[in-house]
Chain A
Amino acid sequence: MSSATLTPVNLNPLTDTVTEPILTFDNVSFAFDSMEVLSDVSFTAQPHESICVVGPNGGGKSTLVKLILGLLEPGRGTITVLGTDPVRARPKIGYMPQYLHHDQRFPVSVLDVARMGRLSGHLLGFYSRKDKQITMTALDEMGVADLAKRPFGALSGGQRQRVLIARALACKPELLLLDEPTANVDPAVENQFLEILHDLAAKITVITVTHDLGFVSQLVDRVICVNRYVKIHPTSEITGEIIQDMYGGDLKMVRHDHCCSEQGHAHD
């Protein structure tokens, strides 16, 4: 059943007016065993949008990311990424994972790590000169090109995070998916991150997952709040109250009736 994907077909890709959404969730539900993590989630993301996914721990953010990447399959509903199913869209997604379960002493250089963004399914995977060039450009973009020869394990948390974003950029993605990019970063570096993400969002669609409330700023176009149900807000409507409500704070100003407002396209 779920294989029947209904994608809006854009017959004239040159017209700006009819842009195909980068990402569509259509009534998606997901449960681990009998515990429902996401319920009837529907939203779309347009090209060149900068989207922030927020929500408390255990609210379903990671599940949402895994669904976009096709690492999990929805129990109900359809997910369309870049006009196809999540697994087929993978080559066009640049992903930065939240945790890297790696050994600090893993003998690998910064360039080695970033170059993994150039991997493909081909049997023999030697990197070409072009691969190296693309990787160096990505490292440069993240301001860590001069660290290319350093051992990855010797970097600070913030530097490591930049390298991992560079690795995601080296994929030459149409969609950049960043899971908690500021998790191991001190506040001073965090502001730099915000600027970098802002610049990136001008070129590609960026989806940032964070539990970090400060991140939800004027820099993003839309905020997706995930706590089993998904609520979507244009950033202009985001106030501390909404977030606090999401997290079960003191303030109880419920504004979730805005959900899927003018930007929530209903397809078919």
Chain B
Amino acid sequence: MTEFFTTLIDPSITFLRYALIAGLLASVAFGVIGSYVVVKRITYMAGAIAHCVLGGIGAALFFSQRYGLGWLTPMTGAVIAALAAAIIIGLVSIHAQEREDSVISALWVSGMAAGIMFMAKTPGYIDPMSYLFGNILMISLQDLWVILALDICVVTLGILFYNKMLAVCFDEEFARLRGVHTKFYFLLLLCLTALTIVLMIRIVGIVLVIALFSLPAAVAGHYSSRLWQMMAISTLLSMFYVVAGLAVSYGPNLPSGATIVMIAGISYLLTMAGKMLRRKHN
């Protein structure tokens, strides 16, 4: 643990500081958007969007190598793929409700498959594992700026439309009858979800990112009676998981994304167990 702190303040080693800053920044978006996703019960849609991101990353790697497109970074590919997946899933969900889950799983797997195929055909060695499960060594200063910009954008929109989003999550039909453009807000929520996912991909990866959507909000749900409280508590929890995960994983050289998620999972189980014990006592 002391090794973690000495490395953190070592001016010659930047990656751990970057990872920590990125994680803390992303936690705010995860707290706000994750709470919406959990109360609206669309974590499976978030899962599909996250997996589609691999397709975007793979395509970005492939095309940037092949055609020398310097601007097409994996991060850009991830943002484009995530937004595209969010809009497709949203439109399918609005217009063809009965086939929703089939379409979502089709996107889920084909997004991943496309990513793996693109990566295989990209010259040079690419480790899909670092995208699937995160790799804090890969965070650059440029990534940090992108994360900061996306974070500000997502959190601002999430807070600005709080009342509308709350109504859409709670009772969509009533909101529509009040003249709220519920389809627009639903699509907006999915797009914000997509951008939030991109924020954490470097740290916890595509596969594990859903854990940071659902677990902090699920724990926070036990201690909050209003949505904004849930957002605040899950932001703090998410920050705690990131710091604790990085600190615990650093010394024994454990994969940091997996450690963060494992700590979140344990804290969720403890909350549930505590709740059950309390119920038994009463």
- Contacts A108-B170, A119-B175 aside, 20 further interface pairs with beta carbons under 8 A come to A71-B173, A90-B177, A95-B177, A103-B39, A107-B221, A107-B229, A108-B226, A112-B166, A112-B226, A112-B227, A115-B163, A116-B171, A117-B178, A119-B164, A119-B180, A125-B161, A125-B163, A125-B180, A167-B174, A171-B178
Contact A151 B225 (CB under 8 A): yes
Cβ–Cβ < 8 Å partners of A267 in chain B: none
Count chain A CB atoms within 10 A of each CB in B41, B180, B226 and give the residue with the most: B226
Cβ–Cβ < 8 Å partners of B175 in chain A: 116, 119
Taking the complex as formed, is B276 at the interface, i.e. its CB lies under 8 A from any CB of chain A? no
Contacting residue for B163 out of A69, A102, A107, A127, CB 8 A: A127
Contact B174 A116 (CB under 8 A): yes
- The number of chain A residues with a CB under 8 A from chain B is 30
Q: How far is the CB of A140 from chain B (nearest CB, A)?
A: 21
In the bound assembly, the distance between CA atoms of A213 and B226 in angstroms comes to 38
Taking the complex as formed, is B224 at the interface, i.e. its CB lies under 8 A from any CB of chain A? yes
Taking the complex as formed, is A100 at the interface, i.e. its CB lies under 8 A from any CB of chain B? yes
Interface pairs A-B: 6 shortest CB-CB: A121-B179, A119-B178, A151-B225, A125-B163, A107-B224, A107-B230
What residue in chain A is nearest B225 (Cβ atoms)? Answer: A151
Please list the residues of chain B having a beta carbon within 8 angstroms of any beta carbon in chain A.
Answer: 39, 41, 160-161, 163-164, 166-167, 169-171, 173-175, 177-181, 221, 224-227, 229-230
What residue in chain B is nearest A115 (Cβ atoms)? Answer: B163
Taking the complex as formed, is A64 at the interface, i.e. its CB lies under 8 A from any CB of chain B? no
In the bound assembly, the distance between CA atoms of A140 and B170 in angstroms comes to 23
Q: How far is the CB of B94 from chain A (nearest CB, A)?
A: 15
Cβ–Cβ < 8 Å partners of A112 in chain B: 166, 226-227
The interface residues of chain A, by DSSP majority, are classed as: loop
Provide a sorted-by-A list of 30 A–B residue pairs whose CB atoms are within 8 angstroms.
A90-B177, A93-B177, A95-B174, A97-B171, A97-B173, A100-B171, A102-B171, A107-B224, A107-B226, A107-B230, A108-B166, A108-B226, A109-B226, A112-B227, A115-B163, A116-B170, A116-B171, A117-B178, A119-B180, A120-B178, A120-B179, A120-B180, A121-B179, A121-B180, A121-B181, A125-B161, A127-B163, A151-B226, A167-B174, A171-B178
Taking the complex as formed, is A129 at the interface, i.e. its CB lies under 8 A from any CB of chain B? no
Count chain B CB atoms within 10 A of each CB in A69, A106, A121, A167 and give the residue with the most: A106
Taking the complex as formed, is A130 at the interface, i.e. its CB lies under 8 A from any CB of chain B? no
What residue in chain A is nearest B35 (Cβ atoms)? Answer: A107
Cβ–Cβ < 8 Å partners of B161 in chain A: 124-125
A 112-143 contacts with B by CB, 8 A: 112-113, 115-117, 119-121, 124-127
Q: How far is the CB of A121 from chain B (nearest CB, A)?
A: 3
In the bound assembly, the distance between CA atoms of A109 and B228 in angstroms comes to 11
Taking the complex as formed, is A158 at the interface, i.e. its CB lies under 8 A from any CB of chain B? no
Contact B167 A119 (CB under 8 A): yes
In the bound assembly, the distance between CA atoms of A214 and B167 in angstroms comes to 34
Q: How far is the CB of A179 from chain B (nearest CB, A)?
A: 11
Cβ–Cβ < 8 Å partners of B180 in chain A: 119-121, 125
Q: How far is the CB of A91 from chain B (nearest CB, A)?
A: 6
What residue in chain B is nearest A94 (Cβ atoms)? Answer: B177
CB contact under 8 A between A113 and B170, given known A108-B227, A125-B161: yes
Q: How far is the CB of B225 from chain A (nearest CB, A)?
A: 4
Cβ–Cβ < 8 Å partners of A121 in chain B: 178-181
CB contact under 8 A between A116 and B226, given known A106-B39, A108-B170, A125-B161: no
Cβ–Cβ < 8 Å partners of A171 in chain B: 178
What residue in chain B is nearest A105 (Cβ atoms)? Answer: B221
